[in-house]
Structure 1
Amino acid sequence: MPHRVDEGLVNTLKRVAAVLKQSEIPFALGGSFAVYAHGGHSSDHDVDFVIREQDRGRALEELSSAGFEVEQPPEDWLVKVFDEGRMVDLIYRPVDLPVTDETLRDTSMLSVEAINMPVLSATQLMVHKLLSYSQHHCDFATGLPVARSLREQIDWDRVRKETEKSPYAEAFLILLDRLDVVPDPESARLTVGG
């Protein structure tokens, strides 16, 4: 793995994953730790799991029984649990898209700090990152390390298709082309033969 991670957060991640697995609640690791699990560069220090909305109540019950503090924030797309002050987001509607069985199939079973768990695909992580950009939050510095470190694992055609309605995603993909991180297929076609 490319760099050191916060041991407390890793232990919390492992505890949450173990409870979800034992309870047979479908889930996948997302966010910065999913990038890390794929061998990529992860810059922030939080734990995100994705679950289906219909599993939210049972997940909170099981995690509460296991000693986690539970919080239902005002946002209507996630719930939070805490382990000695360390926060874990259980996200059931990332970027306004519900987590479905199909979402949870678009994963790789990876060993994350010695626990096998489903991890969102690098392609889906990039789609989520690009669709999170808006006029209120558009920090491309958070996406560049992900794109650079996972570029060979990402289906860029699928990323372009699934983010085509976002002008922020389009701008980010143009930036990747200009920086020679990922060539834009359009610019490649324009330069052939001339």
Structure 2
Amino acid sequence: MTNGVDVGLLKTLKRVAATLKLADVPFVLGGSFAVYAHGGHSGDHDVDFLIRERDVDGALEALVAAGFTAERPPEDWLVKVYDEHGHMVDLIHRPIETPVTDETLSGGVIRPVDAIQMPCLSATNLMVHKLLSYSQHYCDFARGLPLARSLREQIDWDQVRKETAASPYAEAFLVLLDRLEVVPQKEPSS
């Protein structure tokens, strides 16, 4: 572990990013390592890359050729690869039930991740994805609080509110952030 980050998993992330770049598979880094790339607090049990569904086969082909083992799990929104040490990488093509599009990929922010420049989900999109992942089956606000606190200045909170307006779980989380004085609640329009 270096600075709270699993060095082995970080090396795996770099190998996957380099392989995808060489194979001309567009991607953005998501999840906890994107939070890390933005300078935020994150946990790291796996690596998440977002790719378009049409690029899944090409990505798997390139990664298998580079020594990874591929898996197509029953969930139909991602595929997985593992390196020789068992480090897992998720290649997600439909996060929060929304397909990854050219717009998703072009909205990435270039950040250095252990000396490799790569596109990462913006802090705003990371927060939107976290809030839209909350449901009656999963609603662990304790995992969203460090993200909100550590990246709050980089997040467009008006955009987060707009994109998560239909979710009562997101609304509750935003009220919690207001009550904790992390982010002020938007004042109602007169």
TM-score of the superposed pair, with normalisation by structure 2: 0.96
1:12 has 2:24 as partner:
no
Give the match for residue 30 of structure 1.
Answer: 30
1:186 aligned counterpart, secondary structure: coil
Aligned to 1:17, the other structure's residue is in SS state helix
Which stretches of structure 1, 4 residues or longer, exceed 2 Å deviation after superposition?
Answer: none
Could you tell me which residue of structure 2 aligns to residue 186 of structure 1?
Answer: 187
- Give CA-to-partner distance per residue, 1:78-115, whole Å, 9 cap, x none: 00000121100000000001000100111111110010
- Structure 2: how far apart are the matches of 1:87 and 1:43? 14
- Distance in 2 (alpha carbons) for counterparts of 1:107 and 1:36: 14
Q: In the aligned structure 1, how far is the partner of 2:98 from the partner of 2:44?
A: 23
1:3 deviates by: 2.9
Q: Indicate if the aligned counterparts of 2:5 and 2:44 stay in contact, CA closer than 8 A.
A: no
Which residue in the other structure is 1:164 paired with? 165
Q: 1:43 Cα deviation (Å)? A: 2.1
SS of structure 2 residue aligned to 1:79: strand
What is the alpha-carbon distance in structure 2 between the residues aligned to residue 32 and residue 54 of structure 1?
24
The one-letter amino acid of 2:125's match is Q
| Partner of residue 129, structure 2 | 128
Q: What is residue 77 of structure 2 aligned with on the other side? A: 77
How far off its partner does 1:123 sit? 0.3
Q: Distance in 2 between matches of 1:44 and 1:86?
A: 11
How many residues in Structure 1 have an aligned counterpart in Structure 2?
188
- Per the alignment, residue 97 of structure 2 pairs with 96
Match of 1:139 in 2: 140
| CA-to-aligned-CA distance 1:17-46 (integer Å, 9 cap, x gap) | 000001111001000000000000002321
Letter in structure 2 aligned against 1:36? Y
- 1:5 and 1:44 map into 2 onto residues whose CA distance is 7
How many percent of aligned residue pairs carry the same amino acid?
71
- Tell me which amino acid in the other structure corresponds to 1:148: R
* C-alpha contact (below 8 Å) 2:80/2:88 kept by paired residues: yes
Gap runs ≥5 in structure 1: none
Higher alpha-carbon deviation: 178-187 or 113-122: 178-187
Letter in 2 for 1:77: W
Which string of whole-angstrom CA distances, capped at 9 and with x for unpartnered residues, describes residues 116-169 of structure 1? 100110000000000000000000000000000000000000000000000000
Shift of 1:4: 2.6
Secondary structure of the structure 1 residue equivalent to 2:82: strand
| Consecutive unaligned residues in structure 2, runs of 5 or more | none
2:181 is paired with a residue whose SS is: coil
